[in-house]
Amino acid sequence: MHTLGKDLTIDLGSDQPGALGKAFDAIAKAGVNIDGYAEIGGTLHVLSGDSNATRRAVESAGFRITREDDVVVVNVPDRPGVAAGIFRQLGDANVNVGFSYVATGNRVVVGAANITKAAEIVARQAAIVN
């Protein structure tokens, strides 16, 4: 089973202790649950059930949203080779993956240049492995 969601890319600013905590705290105080995230080098990707509320929360805390992307979110079993199959199929179909991370509940989040094609491939692959 797959769904489409929104990934917010957040610039945490200069690398300093507490920036990530401040962003998460702002989201929590807004009553928004984070379904998945990845942080690398001062850039935070967030998947939540309410991207608008998440946007308002982090912007009010002084952070800047640099992108908002449609993403495919797919439930996958926790076993060897599942991710390999998904990303091999995407590559074979010439779908460029811009980013990916794991979300709660054994879900994989995929941001791609062609999200429609990515969703079709991910759905097909998920049906095979589930």
The structure's pTM equals 0.90
**Token representation of residue 123:** 């759905």
What is the domain extent for residue 24? 2-68
Does residue 64 sit in the same domain as residue 122? no
Question: Among residues 23, 41, 68, which one ends one of the domains?
Answer: 68
Does residue 64 sit in the same domain as residue 76? no
Check residue 126 and give its pLDDT: 74
Does residue 110 sit in the same domain as residue 99? yes
The tens place of each residue's pLDDT in the chain, 130 residues long, gives: 678 999 999 999 887 899 999 999 999 999 999 999 999 999 999 999 999 999 999 999 999 999 999 999 999 988 899 899 999 999 999 999 999 999 999 999 999 999 999 999 998 887 776 6
- Identity at 18, one-letter amino acid code: G
- Tell me how crowded residue 2 is: count the other CB atoms within 10 A of its CB: 21
* Structural domains of the chain, count: 2
Check residue 63 and give its pLDDT: 97
Does residue 21 sit in the same domain as residue 63? yes
Please list, residue by residue across 13-35, b when 16 or more beta carbons sit within 10 angstroms of its beta carbon and e when fewer do.
Answer: eeeeeebeebbbebbeebebebb
Check residue 27 and give its pLDDT: 98
Does residue 22 sit in the same domain as residue 36? yes
Does residue 84 sit in the same domain as residue 63? no
Does residue 75 sit in the same domain as residue 113? yes
Check residue 130 and give its pLDDT: 61
Does residue 46 sit in the same domain as residue 87? no
DSSP state letter for 80: T
Does residue 61 sit in the same domain as residue 80? no
Contact status, residue 111 vs residue 99, Cβ threshold 8 Å: yes
Question: Among residues 21, 50, 68, which one ends one of the domains?
Answer: 68
